[in-house]
Amino acid sequence: MLMRRAARPARHIGAEEAAALVRPGMWIDYAAVLAGPDAFDRALAARKEALHGVNIRSCIAARPRAVIECDPEGRHFNWISLHFGGYDRRKHDLGLAHYMPVNLGEIPDYYRRFIDPVDIAVIKVAPMDGEGMFNFGLANLWHRAVIERARCVIVEVSPAVPRAVGVDNGIHVSEVDYIIDSDPLPLPELPNPPPTEVDRAVAARILEEIGDGACLQIGIGGMPNAVCTLLRDANVRDIGIHTEMLTDGIAALYRAGLVTGARKQMDPGRIVYSFGFGSQSLYDTVDGNPDFLCCPVDYTNLPHSIMRNDNVVAINNTTQIDLQGQAASESDGHRHISGTGGQLQFVRGAYASKGGKSFICLASTYERKGERRSRIVTALTRGNIVTTPRTDMMYVVTEYGIANLKGRSVPERARLLIGLAHPDFREELEREAHAARLLPRAVF
């Protein structure tokens, strides 16, 4: 771990005094997910009339941000997110949030090589321990790289932050410029709606492909978490975990005694992740627990790390897939929804793993304005961003079936994907596929 030296010993100040350090045009880093500041955010919003052109970089705002709420026309603060959650998405729809295209596992390198130095970094942390360390909790990600590049580092201390055992998962007091107290709030929680029947049907098909000793990556969403639900009742032994996001579904598998990691080649016996977001039960499960290892995202997400474990099973969602196998998982046309995240890197890492498998799952249809539409299409919606290219696609799963596209020609792919579509749309897709020369010409 590269240690940054503060210019002077850390000083305990109020949030208002910390916010007064911000000047027009500065770049402020709000850390990511559960490490996002609250007291500093509120104090900075209160100074909006004295500021303009302040750029704030974040990732998955876990609760509403005062700097956005106080600035409905975006005249004072410019919000840039490395991955959208629901709040970021809604603010993007209003023109108040913007996305930076990234592979999540590359972000530490972006900070070290391409992103200009950060003027002020603000990170929510657990109270200092006896060795002078502030723990990042369930949010390791790229925070060490941010600290290396920051001119000023502020830690916002909250007793609600659990102490997560990890690699480089904290900052020493000697690296800190200022210490402030956080608002007396519990950590934000991510709702976990129960899986739908479609979620369960997709999960059941994936479950048939998961064997003893599989090393799982579970993405965000109902379908990946439904896999965890079904695994609790399946006779699969020695499950391992090497993932980007730690979810409630994974924690439930652990509490059920199904996760041993005994057959992992990399960090055997440990649940490896880069950030967690879920319920208080998840946070309590991880707090001080040495079975969980919170690591930088370039350790969890780079394909050459993922492939070091055998039998990696990567399970991720998409929102639309075309008949050649391109998956658009992060936008609806030009409307940004989420982000590339770790999907592409885990697709590639799982494929490179000995015995590995990658699953991209989706419901066959969705509803819009009372009309049912197909998520499997001849051509992607105009403006849609390709998250997983056709050349990387392995298994595609809907409630109607599962297909492996590796080694398949374009006509073979089109036929397989039409077979995964809802029956009401298959004839239309076949007609369009013939017209687009994806299938040989035919007369109807």
- Cβ atoms within 10 Å of 288's Cβ, excluding its own: 11
Bridge-based pairing of strands 240-241 and 215-218 is: parallel
Q: How far apart are CA 187 and CA 275, in angstroms?
A: 14
How far apart, in whole angstroms, are the C-alpha atoms of residue 146 and residue 158?
20
Report the alpha-carbon distance of residue 363 to residue 398 in Å, rounded: 5
CA distance 426 to 429: 5
CB 313 within 8 A of CB 215: yes
The packing angle between helices 197-207 and 222-231, to 10°, is 60
Question: Which residue is catalytic, options 106, 156, 244, 430?
Answer: 244
Integer Cα distance of 264 and 267 in angstroms: 7
> Number of H helices and number of E strands within the chain?
15, 27
The token pair at 443 is 């007369």
The two three-digit tokens of residue 273, written as one number: 């992740």
User: Which residue is listed with tokens 């104090």?
Assistant: 43
In the block, tokens 């949010």 appear at 139
The two most distant CA atoms of the chain are separated, in Å, by 79
Q: Which residues sit opposite 139 in a β-bridge?
A: 275
Listed residue (120, 123, 141) closest to 28, CA to CA: 120
- Answer for the pair 290, 303: CB distance below 8 angstroms, yes or no: no
Is residue 244 annotated as part of the catalytic site, yes or no? yes
CB 246 within 8 A of CB 292: yes
At how many degrees (to 10) do helices 248-255 and 222-231 cross? 10
In sequence order, the 6+-apart residues with CB closer than 8 A to the CB of 442 are 434
Q: How far is CA 172 from CA 1, 3, 253, in A?
A: 11, 8, 33
Determine the straight-line distance between the first and last CA of the chain, rounded to whole angstroms.
65
423-435 and 410-420 helices cross at what angle (nearest 10)?
160
Q: 27 by DSSP, 3-state: which?
A: strand
Question: Residue 317 to residues 81, 167, 212, 283, 298: CA-CA distances in angstroms?
Answer: 20, 28, 23, 24, 21
Active site residues: 244
